[in-house]
A and B are shown apart, each in its own frame.
Chain A
Amino acid sequence: MTVIDERRAVEQRLRPRTVTPRRRDRSIRGWVRRGGLVTLLFALPMILVFTVYSWWPILQSIWMSFQKTNLITYRFVGLDNFANVLADPLLGRAVLNTAYFALLALVFGFPLPILMAVLMSEVRRLKGLYSALAYLPVIVPPVVAVLLWKFFYSASPTGVFNTILGWVGIPPQPWIQDATQAMPSLVLEATWAAAGGSIIIYLAALLSVPPELYDAAEVDGATIWHKIWHVTLPQLRGVIFVMLILQIIATAQVFLEPYLFTGGGPNNATVTVLLLIYRYAFENSLGGKYGEATALSVMLALFLAAASFLYFKATQKWSTD
């Protein structure tokens, strides 16, 4: 066999095999034969549930944002609801408050679970116990947690936190009873409540970091901080980016804490965008401003969708490198 023949033979082997495509049966019978019906039947309950409880209400609320309604009578008002919302003096306050909450949660609440997860992954014994303890606050129903913390935040000198501060000589704080302290207090509780879930996700992500990277780093004489900075964090990068956008979306929709702790007070210091939406819809028992509520919801949803899109575009390179 000549060299040329040999090359041809190799090329022949490497060439992708051309399979004669079977004509795809596009008829309904063909679809049924391929199991399409069974798939659809399996999916049907879920499709129905999603349609009734998720997609239909979303479409309905978009439609409602162009209506003036008391849920009994409906009148098309074009963009009036959007204009009313944008003219509301409380909107600016609510946006700033929400941004403040998101910022505090980002600065204090976001790094904490990463740090905790990294430290916990270093623990050799009783790792399960630490995970369980970290996750415990997530199991407490949120309303119960808030009521509990409300009790902790008592502004009286005999309140739980104030008593603890008293031990180290710090005077009693007003906590949620003061316009400047209310929001940080809310963030503190929210961080406590949510950190456990994030820690578990980071712990799982840490398991996928190849141990040989640490071995190699050790051989190079890296300290523990070097290992965290140069191995752990870069390996967690993808998860951190996703968690970050999830946190931004969640904090932009913060409602439970301001609603249950302060009702937006004192003096509107904790009114957030979602609380404002709630107030539009439910504050006035008679008719409510459902149109305005849904208009603001639609604006918030569009903003978050745009922000998420831009975020993924901007970080595409970093998160996939």
Chain B
Amino acid sequence: MKSPTKVIAIAAAFATVASLAACSSGGSSDGKVELRVATFPPGADQAAYDAFATQEAQFEKKYPNIDIIGVEYEWEGPTFTAQLAAGSLPDVFTVPFTDAKTLLENGQLADVTEEIDELGYADKFNPIILDAVKDADGHLFGFPRQAYALGLQYNRELFEQAGLDPDSPPTTWDEVREYAKQISEATGKAGYATMTQNNTGGWQLTAQSASRGGFLQSDDGATSTIANDGVKATLEYFHELRWEDDSMGDNFLLDWGSINQEFAAGNIGMYTSGSDLYTALVRDFSLDPSVYGLTTIPMEDGGKVLGGGDIAVLPPTLDDATKAAAVKWVDWYYMQKLLNEDAAVADAKALSDAGQAVGTPVLPVLDQATYEESLTWIEPYVNVPRDQMTGFIDGIFAQTPVGEPKSHTQEVYALLDPVVQAVLTDENADIDALLAQADKDAQALIDG
């Protein structure tokens, strides 16, 4: 008789080898092309899944040989590269404008020039936006699918509590300061707040400096120009709100997620962020839509509004069949609703039936006329309170858009986070010295 220990040991060894082997096996479907597409942010609610199920059924009816699998995805700086390297990204995903150039230079995106040409809308894109996905040879590496401009988000309820008219949001930075002070004094909440962490401090400093005509880099991205009057004025403005007016609350370690959370909880009167934020605020942070307000960022002489957006892209490793299916999906899911009335209506209906936001203000990735026409198609399904966003909707096309700094964008933003934090947490922070140092460090990054 064999010793039981031997039997157990052999079984254990087999189990280990078998389980390791199982890790590497993949699945295949019944002749259909399986396409994993980025759709839900992590933690999306049932309504988002319901909306997607409707869209999935519509798409698969049109393309019966493609099996769409919606997967959770959210672009996050820290995990993106690891996901890319590990091959765990979906077959279609989105990246922000700021990252597209570097990704395509690194050969990390599939070339879709032919596909966009075949679809016939290469010349329909807003050329400034298309530039973000074009390499030096004119090849295209993605579909710009959504653009936004920075806007001033505000809480209508706090405005009312402070005796301010929520339908007349501030139009100058002086008014913002005045309103912030009033909100703080009346409610004890932060009248005005700004992001400071995880590169968002630099991002928002860039946006507000741009509105005062101060830019971080020369147009070609070769020279750092951080130590300029616009950036300095923005930091001095923060200093006044924080130390003279005490109207910025008491949390100075905020990033995109935490500032949205605080805003949705009714603790912040005003802050700057993307114009498309409403969807995330309501869906992911449970904001009460009735308290939401959005207007344009105040502009000073020479000021421009910082824009951004994202691009639907494919990894370069897709085989031909999957790539063809992916292009069909991008065209159907992202692009047709911008171009085609039936597609726009079907998309808006699916979203609205599932209680998802329809009509959040964005910027046109095609031309303005097409964008405005598309809004008339989906009008019956618009469920976001656009009358609470008139300040932005009516004012944004009068502002001049500007893109984010071209060179080492995220690293430069990271350099500026501590600068913003220093001004907000140290009354005696030497703004000139901080800017001179940041300028020097940023130039060193650019020079590589």
- A: residues with CB less than 8 A from B are 38, 41-42, 44-45, 48-49, 52, 70-73, 89, 154-156, 174, 176-179, 261-268, 279, 282-288
Contact = CB atoms under 8 A, between A and B. Distances in A.
B425 A178 contact: yes
Contacts of A52: 20
Given A263-B253, A267-B422, A267-B426, A71 B81 contact: yes
Contacts of A263: 197-198, 253, 255, 417
A71 B82 CA distance: 7
Given A38-B9, A45-B13, A288 B250 contact: no
B21 to A, nearest CB: 12
B103 interface: yes
Given A38-B5, A72-B106, A177 B252 contact: yes
Interface residues on B, range: 35 or more
Nearest to A177: B252
Interface in B175-232: 196-199
B119 to A, nearest CB: 28
A177 B414 contact: no
A177 B75 CA distance: 28
B112 to A, nearest CB: 19
A154 B411 contact: no
A265 B417 contact: yes
B24 interface: no
Nearest to A49: B16
Contact of B250 (A38, A71, A154): A154
A41 B10 contact: yes
B12 A285 contact: no
Contact of A265 (B76, B197, B429): B197
A71 B84 contact: yes
A265 B16 contact: no
Contacts of B410: 283-286
Contacts of B120: none
B341 interface: no
B214 to A, nearest CB: 21
Contacts of A49: 16
A217 to B, nearest CB: 50
A18 B425 CA distance: 80
Contacts of A72: 84-85, 106-108
A70 B106 contact: yes
B250 A177 contact: yes
B421 interface: yes
Contacts of B414: 279, 283-284
9 closest cross-chain pairs (CB), A and B: A71-B85, A41-B9, A285-B77, A282-B78, A155-B250, A267-B422, A266-B425, A45-B16, A286-B102
Among A49, A174, A176, A283, max chain B CB count under 10 A is at A283
B58 interface: no
A41 B441 CA distance: 56
